[in-house]
Amino acid sequence: MSRLTDLPAWEQLQQHYETIKDVHMRELFAQDQTRFERFSKTFNEILFDFSKNRIDQHSLDLLLQLAEQSDVTGWREKMFAGEPINHTEGRAVQHTALRSPCAQPIYADGVRIDLEIKQELARVKALAERVRTRQWLGHSNQPITDVVNIGIGGSHLGPLMVTEALRPYSIHDLHIHYVSNIDENHINNSLESLNPDTTLIIIASKSFTTQDTMVNAQTAKSWLMKKLKSELDLPKHLVAVTSNAEAAVQFGIARENIFKMWDWVGGRYSLWSAIGLSIVISIGSENFDALLAGAHDVDEHFKSAPLAENIPVIMALLGVWYNNFFGSESIAVLPYDQNMHRFPAYLQQADMESNGKSCDRDGKDVDYTTGPILFGEIGIASQHAFYQLLHQGTKLVPADMLAPIANFHCIATHHRALMSNVFAQAEALMNGKTAEEVHAELTRQGMSESEIDMLLPYKVFPGNRPTNTFLFYTLNPRTLGSLIAFYEHKIFVQGVIWNLDSFDQWGVELGKVLATNILNEINIGKEVSNHDCSTNGLINYYLKRKPKSESNGS
């Protein structure tokens, strides 16, 4: 038994699960015509419908008790108060401060931070506006046409996702590119059509030591230097965002071009900081302010709404319900807005790096399952790809669907068809199709009984597959900020319930260390024998066949 499984609500939920696990949502809807009103919430321009879940009021009440007994409110207070709740790294968790209007002093682990936040945001906006208004000139006095953000993980996925999602708000004669992969194809594909004279490179790395980013940064610097007359011109083309200013200076970045990051912002929660510089360049200061405001709206809601009204809390509890009681292993995130195509990838990191852990806050192995496998893609494309498994597979995959009521371009033929798919898929996943319904349908089509007998089992849909639906008026910066913050706080609440430190990421360390050692061995080039036979075999196979003519890339 553990702290979580000892809670009274846990045992009650286990008992309740036995009574509801075979109940079909069709029955729940038939019993309660007010189910949609009861199990949906609105927040500004966002509707959150969670009525298509395998819950009744008693399920929700017990889940809310679980949240109370797990002290979600206490942990929430600690986070907003800037206590070092990332205990394995001894750090506060204050990404919410980045989007606060900072009307009151804000602290991280006892140190005042709001003034520095304001100052850094003003610097970011000043640079962005100079680039956007063509006042920032390159070494040959030409304005910037292309910005390349070099970073990975948290220094990449958030900015990329937001820039893509808010594409209609971007400035048209400026192109933003993102490079993360150490695979030379990524940087080469990005730089090959660009002109160093009109390109600004952002090195985004909190630590300024990440191998992938440093190798790409070096390649980008060399690419610039082929065209620049001297290193003195570099400040016109190279800036950095980091908490390791000294390393950035050593790399050759001018001090005035270094934007600050802080220990109390986790990489995957950092798009609100100077790591979002590429976003501000793309959409401008006002729109970035709206993005921050949307997230701040949700912070206030999360901080003050009673648990039963609290959207991130409800999202989290539904996830716990399926993960820990139904044994569901994954969740799907399915945006029906093409511009949100990187939203699932972004959330994959946010969720899986935060709660993909098996050691609890007390240093003990958990005896329950924690973070789910999160996957997803654009909804429409996925309908023609993996929805088959969602509808008729053997696994229960709860899904979130997200769709805008109005598209930016307002083309009815496209948007109405899109929306009809959102509603139809959620309805089909919930209702399914019974054998009787299939029989009646095939009979209407004129099939014989023997033909029907053969085909019927394949055309039955079990249904009872849960979905949440988010409808928002339009994907504007404020709404996007709110949606991201909903998920951030959902992840936080789940981390509290599972008794995890959601803000460290030790699981990514081991591979990094091993890669550094193996890179040394590859550079030496001699046959290796110090690993297991598979790893030895792979390294030696590679060493024998690697091209003799590799360049050093610069």
Residue 171 φ/ψ region, left for φ over 0, alpha for ψ in the -120 to 50 degree band, beta for the rest: beta
Helices (H), 34-138: 35-38, 57-69, 72-80, 114-132
Among 35, 237, 268, 478, binds ligand G6Q (CB under 6 A): 268
Among 207, 369, 392, 540, binds ligand G6Q (CB under 6 A): 207
Q: Quick one: 202 or 315, whose CB is closer to ligand G6Q?
A: 202
Rounded to the nearest 10 degrees, how much is the dihedral formed by the CA atoms of 183, 178, 294, 414? Answer: -100
Closest contact distance (angstroms) between CB of 242 and ligand G6Q is 8
Among 63, 152, 161, 271, binds ligand G6Q (CB under 6 A): 152
Closest contact distance (angstroms) between CB of 324 and ligand G6Q is 25
The verdict on 383 binding ligand G6Q (CB under 6 A) reads no
Residues in CB range of 188: below 8 A, 6 or more apart? none
Q: Quick one: tokens of 214?
A: 């440093």
Size of the site for ligand G6Q (CB under 6 A): 15
The verdict on 273 binding ligand G6Q (CB under 6 A) reads no
Closest contact distance (angstroms) between CB of 160 and ligand G6Q is 13
Residue matched to tokens 């620049």: 228
Q: Which helix (H) or strand (E) holds 536?
A: helix 533-545
> Which region among 220-228, 266-274, 293-301, 448-456 touches ligand G6Q (by CB under 6 A)?
266-274
Residue matched to tokens 């610069």: 554
DSSP 449-493: HHHHHHHHHHH-B-----EEEEEES---HHHHHHHHHHHHHHHHH
Among 82, 138, 153, 398, binds ligand G6Q (CB under 6 A): 153
Q: Distance between CA atoms of 297 and 44, rounded to whole angstroms?
A: 9
Under a CB-based contact definition with an 8 Å cutoff, are residues 159 and 281 in contact?
no
- The DSSP code for 372 is P
Residues in CB range of 89: below 8 A, 6 or more apart? 263, 503, 504
Closest contact distance (angstroms) between CB of 235 and ligand G6Q is 21
> Which region among 103-111, 151-159, 217-225, 286-294 touches ligand G6Q (by CB under 6 A)?
151-159
Q: Quick one: 387 or 492, whose CB is closer to ligand G6Q?
A: 492
> Which region among 136-144, 199-207, 404-412, 515-523 touches ligand G6Q (by CB under 6 A)?
199-207
> Which region among 78-86, 262-270, 279-287, 414-422 touches ligand G6Q (by CB under 6 A)?
262-270
How many beta carbons lie within 10 A of that of residue 386, not counting itself? 17
Under a CB-based contact definition with an 8 Å cutoff, are residues 217 and 226 in contact?
no
Q: Distance between CA atoms of 499 and 327, rounded to whole angstroms?
A: 18
Q: Distance between CA atoms of 309 and 66, rounded to whole angstroms?
A: 15
From residue 20 to residue 49, the character string flagging contacts with ligand G6Q as x (rule: CB under 6 A) and all else as - is ------------------------------
Q: Quick one: 52 or 357, whose CB is closer to ligand G6Q?
A: 357
Closest CA to 274 of 157, 161, 143, 127: 127
Q: Quick one: tokens of 125?
A: 């906006």
Name the 3-class secondary structure at 89.
coil
> Which region among 207-215, 295-303, 336-344, 475-483 touches ligand G6Q (by CB under 6 A)?
207-215
Closest CA to 267 of 333, 207, 227: 207
Residues in CB range of 271: below 8 A, 6 or more apart? 158, 159, 161, 162, 279, 484
Q: Quick one: 152 or 277, whose CB is closer to ligand G6Q?
A: 152
Under a CB-based contact definition with an 8 Å cutoff, are residues 155 and 216 in contact?
no
Q: Quick one: 382 or 505, whose CB is closer to ligand G6Q?
A: 505
Considering only residues 393-452, where is the footprint of ligand G6Q by CB under 6 A? none
Closest contact distance (angstroms) between CB of 390 and ligand G6Q is 28
> Which region among 65-73, 124-132, 153-161, 222-230 touches ligand G6Q (by CB under 6 A)?
153-161
Closest contact distance (angstroms) between CB of 194 and ligand G6Q is 22
Q: Quick one: 210 or 257, whose CB is closer to ligand G6Q?
A: 210
Closest contact distance (angstroms) between CB of 155 and ligand G6Q is 4
Closest contact distance (angstroms) between CB of 154 and ligand G6Q is 3
Under a CB-based contact definition with an 8 Å cutoff, are residues 30 and 430 in contact?
no
Closest contact distance (angstroms) between CB of 131 and ligand G6Q is 22
Among 159, 267, 284, 466, binds ligand G6Q (CB under 6 A): 267
Considering only residues 213-232, where is the footprint of ligand G6Q by CB under 6 A? 213
The verdict on 155 binding ligand G6Q (CB under 6 A) reads yes
Could you tell me where the beta strands, DSSP code E, fall in 73-227? 107-108, 111-112, 146-150, 175-179, 199-204
Closest contact distance (angstroms) between CB of 234 and ligand G6Q is 20
From residue 300 to residue 339, the character string flagging contacts with ligand G6Q as x (rule: CB under 6 A) and all else as - is ----------------------------------------
Considering only residues 491-510, where is the footprint of ligand G6Q by CB under 6 A? 505
- The DSSP code for 109 is T
The verdict on 266 binding ligand G6Q (CB under 6 A) reads yes
The verdict on 154 binding ligand G6Q (CB under 6 A) reads yes
Among 170, 210, 482, 502, binds ligand G6Q (CB under 6 A): 210
Active site residues: 353, 384, 512
Residue matched to tokens 């030409």: 142
N- to C-terminal Cα separation, the chain: 57
Considering only residues 340-359, where is the footprint of ligand G6Q by CB under 6 A? 353
> Which region among 61-69, 205-213, 389-397, 432-440 touches ligand G6Q (by CB under 6 A)?
205-213
Among 206, 237, 391, 490, binds ligand G6Q (CB under 6 A): 206
3-state secondary structure 14-52: HHHHHHHCCCCHHHHHHHCCCHHHHCEEEECCEEEECCC
Q: Quick one: tokens of 227?
A: 């065209």
Residues binding ligand G6Q (CB under 6 A): 151-155, 205-207, 210, 213, 266-268, 353, 505
